[in-house]
Amino acid sequence: MAGQKEQNFKNHARLDPAFHGFLTLMGLAMLIGAITYVVQEPGWVSAAHLLTVIWVIALQFKVRLYALKVQDRLIRLEERLRLAQILPESLRGRIGELSEAQLIGLRFASDGELAGLAQRALEEQLGAKQIKEAVRHWRPDYWRV
């Protein structure tokens, strides 16, 4: 993508300012306020307010986890299709043996090193982090948040 800085293992993780900054700080501020309200004005209303804030924070994180799970499923599908096109015939039959974590790690490998890295991941049971560390020619993923 134009205007994006070059991505590599050290800087590939992304934060969403709206979620990781604003919403998290707002949730923390609301929680502190609700706890203060319970301490200063004990009763059903303040307790209900605190429970509502806890529910909203839990909901916020569950929604975030659902979005990440959808992204993981799409990455799995995308990488299986990519592997089916790029891998030699001898390795194509083993695509199903790759774990979700391995597929997620392999998405950063360039087409030229994908076959070797996939074979190594299968033989050595590499995890996503180990695969990403082994990538020499990084294929950026600017869409994942």
In a domain, 109, yes or no: yes
- Domain of 73? 17-134
In a domain, 12, yes or no: no
In a domain, 142, yes or no: no
Residue 17: the pLDDT is: 75
Give yes or no for a contact between 108 and 135, defined as CB atoms under 8 angstroms apart.
yes
In a domain, 41, yes or no: yes
**Orientation of helix 44-86 relative to helix 111-124, angle to 10°:** 110
In a domain, 125, yes or no: yes
Q: How many domains does the chain have?
A: 1
Give yes or no for a contact between 110 and 138, defined as CB atoms under 8 angstroms apart.
yes
The pTM of the full predicted model, rounded to 2 decimals, is 0.71
Q: pLDDT of 1-10, one tens digit each?
A: 556 666 655 5
Give yes or no for a contact between 14 and 140, defined as CB atoms under 8 angstroms apart.
no
Of 145 and 49, the one with more pLDDT: 49
Residue 139: the pLDDT is: 86
In a domain, 106, yes or no: yes
Q: How confident is the model at residue 37 (pLDDT cuts 50, 70, 90)?
A: very high
Residue 46 has pLDDT above 90, yes or no: yes
Residue 4: the pLDDT is: 66
Give yes or no for a contact between 141 and 108, defined as CB atoms under 8 angstroms apart.
yes
Residue 15: the pLDDT is: 66
